[in-house]
Structure 1
Amino acid sequence: MKPFYSPWRHVFKLDPDRTLSDEALDRVCMSGTDAIMVGGSTGVTYDNTVELLSRVRQYEVPCVLEISNHEAVVPGFDLYMIPMVLNTTRAEWLIGHHQRAIRDYGYMMPWDQLVPEGYIIMNGDSAVARLTEAQTDLTAEEAVAYAQAGDRLLSLPIVYLEYSGTFGDMELLGRVKRSMHHSQLFYGGGIDSALKAQQAAALADTIVVGNIIYENMERALETVRAVK
């Protein structure tokens, strides 16, 4: 059986720590996107996650939580995506936080709803790179090797190439995709137009669109039409 998320081509990512009006949320959720991902690098709390989930749940679009803080995990999402930063220099972001969360909450975890993601963070100026102390000055060969480690060595269902706020190297994205054996390739970063959405979607299995939602709603919605 194919995973629940395997047909997804376009995902909107909403940050619980950022403000989005009811009208804007309605347009996002009714846009035709395949799913809403809830998550952020900083400022994510139980309370603001609950609030955002309750608003998204008015719609039929699938809603998943990308966990960055295990104290902010909220029941009621369709899936829980668990980032493992492959190019971090700190083991806690690869397995440490995960082990502690399982130690504390393993008895109540919905294991069939958990999906690990192997993140490769490429923008050294991003908040997530600073937080995880990711080694971002990678050669193409090093980035591809991380992707293959996630795909073939760790057998992760998702490998996520993340440029976080900047539009990435599409040639590298293509090389990563060609190296994949079974992992679904997610791409995120700097998709702020229909053209960039088309370029990334031509190479990745799934694109994730975030910041432009809060900057220019019309251009955000164009990314759905460009892919779908």
Structure 2
Amino acid sequence: MIDMIKQWRHVFKLDPDREISDEALDQVCMSGTDAIIVGGSSGITYDNTVDLMSRVRRYELPCVLEVSDLEAVVPGFDGYLIPMVLNTADSKWMIGQHQQAIERYGYLIPWDLLITEGYIVLHANSTVARLTGADTELSTEAVAAYAQAGERLLNLPIIYIEYSGTFGDMELVGETHRQLERAHLIYGGGVDTAEKARQAAQVSDTVVVGNIVYSNLHQALETVQAVKANKDSV
């Protein structure tokens, strides 16, 4: 799983709770993006997750589920991303829900398809920050330390810097990336133009593009080549 993810430079994240036409989905999946992540922070159900997965499955590109709700875990994805929020004081989002999931469904879990992500949530007004109680008022040094703790103490293969809904501090992202030795750094948040995609690609291993798909598909599609053009910059 991690070897596959390390090949990704650009990924579209699609929300099961938001509508996307067949025509728009076709353009997204045929855009040259490396993969589709299915996930969101609210309104995720088993039914809408199954529906979106079945539509994406018509195309020959990897499709993974980012698990945010135990009731919406659907079999049939190429892999499952398991977030652990590193900058929260609420252990529920670090290990609590994970323990509950294993206690309830451990015998069904395809362990070889699971990859854990160390999330660092940095946009205070985002749904995910409010939901998890993330401490978003962090210095560059503090964020880099969280990332190093995730990589070196917890041995997490992925560090995910999430600005969810706003474009983040690229100097902070770049410095965090430089402090990592093994972990794969994913950036997500506010990538809604080719230029922002280019900037994010210069300081991360994978760029995730999400919300702009639903408001300006043309601009979303332009991010693919902007990221791919920077494939050798990190």
TM-score, length basis structure 1: 0.99
Whether 2:139 is the aligned partner of 1:117: answer no
2:99 alignment partner, SS class: helix
| Offset at residue 62 of structure 1 (A) | 0.5
Q: Percent identity?
A: 66
Aligned counterparts of 1:197 and 1:143: Cα–Cα separation in 2: 21
What does 1:141-160 correspond to in 2, within 5 Å?
141-160=141-160
Secondary structure (helix, strand or coil) at the match of 2:159 reads strand
**Equivalents in 1 of 2:52, 2:145: separation in Å?**
36
After TM superposition, list the pairs within 5 Å mapping 1:9-28 onto structure 2: 9-28=9-28
Which 5+ residue runs of structure 1 have no aligned equivalent? Answer: none
2:74: which partner in 1?
74
For 1:152-197, what per-residue CA distance to the aligned partner results, in whole angstroms no more than 9, with x for missing partners?
Answer: 1111010000000100001001100000010000000000011100
The reply to whether residue 89 of structure 1 matches residue 89 of structure 2 is yes
User: Gaps (5+ residues) in structure 2?
Assistant: 229-234
> How far apart in 2 are the matches of 1:198 and 1:61?
22
SS of aligned partner of 1:3 = helix
**Aligned pairs, number:** 228
The Cα shift of 1:210 comes to 0.1
Displacement of 1:4: 1.5
Name 2:63's counterpart in structure 1. Answer: 63
Question: 2-side partners of 1:30 and 1:57: how far apart?
Answer: 12
How far residue 93 of structure 1 moved from its aligned partner, in angstroms, is 0.1
How far is the alpha carbon of 1:90 from its aligned partner? Answer: 0.4
- Does residue 1:184 correspond to 2:169, yes or no? no
For residues 150 and 34 of structure 1, what CA distance do their matches in structure 2 show?
Answer: 25
2:231 corresponds to: none
Specify whether residues 42 and 202 from structure 1 end up closer, same or farther in structure 2 by C-alpha distance, changes over 3 A only.
same
Question: Which residue identity lines up with residue 62 of structure 2 in the other structure?
Answer: P
Give TM-score scaled by structure 2 length: 0.96
